[in-house]
Amino acid sequence: MRTYSFRHRGLNLAFWTLPIIFILTAFATPPTYTTFRRTQRSDYSPEPSQLLRIWMVHVAQGDGLLIQLPSKYDYDPDLDDGDNARTERVDIIIDGGANPTSESGRMGDFITQIYGGISPTIEYTVITHHDQDHVVGITKMLNGNDFIFDTIFHNGLASYRGGKHGLPLTNKPANVVGEMKVGKLSRAMGSVNESKEFDPGFLIQNLEDLKDSLNKEELQGIYEDLARAVANKADRNELRAFQRAHYSAPFIAERQAERGQSLSEVQFSVLWPPVKAKSYGGNNWGETINGNSVTFQLVYKDFAMVFTGDHNDKSQPELLSFLRTEQKLNWLECDVLKVPHHGSSHGVKDFFAREDFEPVLAIASMGDVGFRSKQMSSGAWEHPSTDVIEWLGGPHRVYHTCVEEKAFTWSDITTEAKRISLIEKSHILIETDGTWFRLVEIPIEKTPLPPPTVTQTRRGNGTRWIKASKD
């Protein structure tokens, strides 16, 4: 395993020996970092129609990302209106927050904001898994009247009521992934075999499966809320498909081709879950729902990014083994990594058993709920883990939606004042034309568009343009 020094982001500079230049530019342009081991420049101007944008939205505690494909893939949303203008951009949402639920409107509000008050069609939505801090914001958008959806992808796992779908009511068999409450099976994902594989009858494959279980009153809790919102949207012809995503199944590019709009230079590859979803942690609910997070790689020309949901140390060894068997281990290679599970230490450590796994940048999402120390509360989650920041190369290579990018140790955060001193709430934007990419933070109180240029971005709030493949 590689080891890294744990430095403040401003100390490892390629031109630190030039104090006069540094003083003049430090707060106007991000520096060149030798640890990136890539060519970097500030004077690059990509062709606007080639620019792909990836937003990590500040949704409080939780994940919420938006991919805007380059405008060259824009299309005419109404072929029968006599107007041939290509006015609709292809949008892809990955999760929507939120924890607490009072923050559930953040994702929808952000998307409406960047489209100038107009709510676009959401062509593709990926629900990595149905934990509250990933799915509640999507349910909020579905329940509103502002958005039309095309296809929602999900991992196939549901939440069933005890006593429904062939499950017992007053006990939990050893082969069932579920939870007991007040002497009853309060919720369950289903039963697994000796190989820990789910009975296929418990997996929701498509919209028809979802509606069938909903009509039989089998679904429970947050998942039932989602299912009801999906069904209502579909009944109003404002949603076309609710489709399970897994390795080898048709995904975004295939769906786009079906719609007659090929993505000639953009690829999406689903790495996980496999066709046969499995349980983890001794049939533990939390580890199983996280371990089946929809995980995929986006490639645009020379640029690659991996999206990981809430992967954990129980599922990652199997992910790596599976990709080796399929000879697809290269699908983990990326310029940017979306850090699993909000930067938890159990979320990425197995990836680092590979000597060649070294993304240039990493991004993680968390809010006030997660950014608390065990020194202040024994049950705190401590998102992000300082171990993860070190594994990823130091604070100058890891950006967060809630935390200022500088070195810190959780054991030193003993007061609320110290915690607040590290908070910097922002959206994270990655822009790339497939040849170069850059990252910039945008404070949540500022208008996200147009984003600041490289030369308008102070040190600590972004990067220069970085070459999108190893030199």
Q: For the domain that residue 117 is a member of, what is the CATH number?
A: 3.60.15
Give the pairing type, strands 361-364 and 336-338.
parallel
With cut-offs at 50, 70 and 90, classify the pLDDT of residue 32. very high
pLDDT digits (tens, 9 = 90+) for 86-119: 778 999 999 999 888 888 999 999 999 999 998 8
Residue 155, domain member (yes or no): no
Is pLDDT above 50 for 208? yes
Is pLDDT above 60 for 374? yes
- Give 107's strand partners: none
Residue 219, domain member (yes or no): no
Average pLDDT over the chain reads 89
The CA-atom distances, in angstroms, between 346 and each of 256, 291, 358, 368, 468 are: 35, 11, 17, 20, 28
Which two three-digit tokens encode residue 342? 């909000």
With cut-offs at 50, 70 and 90, classify the pLDDT of residue 388. confident
The three-class DSSP label of residue 341 is: helix
pLDDT at 465: 98
Residue 162, domain member (yes or no): no
The three-class DSSP label of residue 99 is: strand
Residue 397 dihedral angles phi and psi, to the nearest 5° = -115, 5
With cut-offs at 50, 70 and 90, classify the pLDDT of residue 191. very high
Greater confidence, 244 or 75?
Answer: 244
Mean pLDDT confidence for 27-48: 92
Which two three-digit tokens encode residue 371? 């950014």
Mean pLDDT confidence for 184-200: 97
pLDDT at 2: 33
Helices (H) and strands (E) in the chain, counts: 10, 18
Q: How many angstroms separate the CA atoms of 226 and 231, rounded? A: 9
Q: Is 145 exposed, middle or buried (0-12, 13-18, 19+ CB in 10 A)?
A: exposed
The three-class DSSP label of residue 303 is: strand
pLDDT at 347: 64
Give the pairing type, strands 303-307 and 336-338.
parallel
Count of CB atoms within 10 A of residue 268's CB? 22
Mean pLDDT confidence for 461-470: 93
With cut-offs at 50, 70 and 90, classify the pLDDT of residue 6. very low
Q: In which order are the strands placed within the sheet that holds 436-443?
A: 40-41, 465-467, 436-443, 426-432, 52-56, 65-68, 91-94, 122-126, 149-154, 241-244
Cβ 336 vs Cβ 361: under 8 Å: yes
pLDDT digits (tens, 9 = 90+) for 40-58: 999 999 999 999 999 999 9
Is pLDDT above 70 for 458? yes
pLDDT at 24: 42
User: Of 345, 329, 335, whose CA–CA distance to 467 is shortest?
Assistant: 335
The three-class DSSP label of residue 188 is: strand
The range of the structural domain enclosing residue 346 comes to 19-140+244-467
Residue 222, domain member (yes or no): no
Q: How many angstroms separate the CA atoms of 352 and 363, rounded? A: 16
pLDDT digits (tens, 9 = 90+) for 215-239: 999 999 999 999 999 999 999 999 9
Cβ 290 vs Cβ 131: under 8 Å: yes
pLDDT at 80: 63
pLDDT digits (tens, 9 = 90+) for 276-323: 999 999 999 999 999 999 999 999 999 999 999 998 888 988 998 999
Which two three-digit tokens encode residue 7? 């430095």
Strands (E), 222-350: 241-244, 266-272, 295-300, 303-307, 336-338
pLDDT at 352: 55
pLDDT at 74: 92
Cβ 178 vs Cβ 189: under 8 Å: yes
Q: What is the DSSP letter of 307?
A: E
pLDDT at 343: 79
Is pLDDT above 60 for 196? yes
Residue 92, domain member (yes or no): yes
pLDDT at 17: 37
Residue 218, domain member (yes or no): no
Residue 414, domain member (yes or no): yes
Q: Which residue do the tokens 């399929």 mark? A: 326
Mean pLDDT confidence for 10-25: 38
pLDDT at 21: 40
Host H or E run for residue 122: strand 122-126
Domain count for the chain: 1
Q: How many angstroms separate the CA atoms of 366 and 347, rounded? A: 14
Host H or E run for residue 142: helix 132-143
The three-class DSSP label of residue 270 is: strand
* Alpha helix positions (H), 193-265: 207-215, 221-235, 252-258
Residue 166, domain member (yes or no): no
- Give 397's strand partners: none
Mean pLDDT confidence for 197-223: 98
With cut-offs at 50, 70 and 90, classify the pLDDT of residue 353. low
Greater confidence, 150 or 470?
Answer: 150
Q: Is 174 exposed, middle or buried (0-12, 13-18, 19+ CB in 10 A)?
A: exposed
Is pLDDT above 70 for 461? yes
Which two three-digit tokens encode residue 330? 């290269």
Helix orientation angle between 221-235 and 132-143, rounded to the nearest 10 degrees: 30
Is pLDDT above 50 for 151? yes
Comparing 124-128, 264-268, 378-382, the range with the smallest average pLDDT is 378-382
Is pLDDT above 50 for 10? no
pLDDT at 392: 87
Q: How many angstroms separate the CA atoms of 281 and 287, rounded? A: 6
Q: How many angstroms separate the CA atoms of 250 and 205, rounded? A: 12
With cut-offs at 50, 70 and 90, classify the pLDDT of residue 159. very high
